[in-house]
Amino acid sequence: MTEVLRLEGVIKEFGDEVVTRVLHGVDMSVHAGEFAALVGPSGSGKSTLLNILGLLDRPTAGSVQVAGKESTELDEDARTALRGEALGFVFQFHHLISALTAAQNVMLPLGINAGRMRPEQRAQAIEALAEVGLGDRGDDLITKLSGGQQQRVAIARALIKRPPLLLADEPTGNLDTETADDVFRLMRAKSRESGIACLFVTHDPALAERCDRIFKLVDGRIVDVRPGANAGS
């Protein structure tokens, strides 16, 4: 099974005169098609770890391999390019642009100019929206969609370039229980269908149990790694 993400001995410290260590030698890996959960209490270092996984920050020490590339050895331009090629992001708050349509938002990773899409880009956008059940809503402004529909648009945007790795930071945290379940099932299905690795950060233990593996982060350390009790559901 292809390894899409590997961390070895990742340490992160902040400060100069007074140094605070937030991550203490984190080791973890996620494989193609695997849907893994990252759980842990507030203040455990999840946000710091996600910033490093998303190539938004560098570790103080350790190795971060994304899609087979050692990211810590890359300069900023190369890291930005790798982020665009290898990573998709879905957040608790969808970060869509309200002045654009659903299709225009989905196409943003492909570099549309001033909201204008080429015909082939529009076709890609509609196809991506159809995959999340919104193929007929491409011309609707984001403000006309429900919260669950907006999150589906965000998922389509994250997957439009078929990245090897999807990072999902509490993507269901702002949704009601039924809508959260719908979004979770959709992301799980897309991971299976496309062979995309997903790291799903959640405070919901029921959702975590439905993932393939669960990484538990406490005080900047991975203290437990185990299969989900209901993996595959």
Cβ contacts of 105 within 8 Å, gap of 6 or more: 96, 97, 142, 153, 154, 157
The pLDDT assigned to 112 comes to 53
The answer to whether residue 210 is domain-embedded is: yes
- pLDDT confidence tier of residue 3, bands split at 50, 70 and 90: very high
Checking if the pLDDT of 37 tops 90, the result is yes
Question: What's the total number of domains in the chain?
Answer: 1
The answer to whether residue 61 is domain-embedded is: yes
The answer to whether residue 154 is domain-embedded is: yes
The answer to whether residue 232 is domain-embedded is: no
The pLDDT assigned to 92 comes to 72
Which range, 19-28, 105-114, 127-136, is most confident?
Answer: 19-28
**For the domain that residue 188 is a member of, what is the CATH number?**
3.40.50.300
CA 75, CA 79: separation in Å to the nearest integer?
6
Checking if the pLDDT of 54 tops 60, the result is yes
Question: Using one digit for the tens of pLDDT, what is the confidence trace for 206-231?
Answer: 989 999 999 999 999 999 999 988 76
Q: What number is the average pLDDT over the span 133-154?
A: 89
Where is pLDDT greater, at 25 or 113?
25
What value does the mean pLDDT of the chain take? Answer: 88
Residues 150-172: b if buried by 16+ CB within 10 A, e if exposed: bbbbbbbbbbbeebbbbbbbbbb
The answer to whether residue 233 is domain-embedded is: no
Whole-model pTM: value is 0.87
- pLDDT confidence tier of residue 114, bands split at 50, 70 and 90: very low
- Domain span including residue 166: 3-227
- pLDDT confidence tier of residue 160, bands split at 50, 70 and 90: confident
Where is pLDDT greater, at 217 or 122?
217
The pLDDT assigned to 57 comes to 92
CB-based contact 153:145 (threshold 8 Å): yes
Instruction: Give which of 77, 76, 78, 30 is closest to 50, Cα–Cα.
Output: 30
Checking if the pLDDT of 87 tops 70, the result is yes
The pLDDT assigned to 10 comes to 96
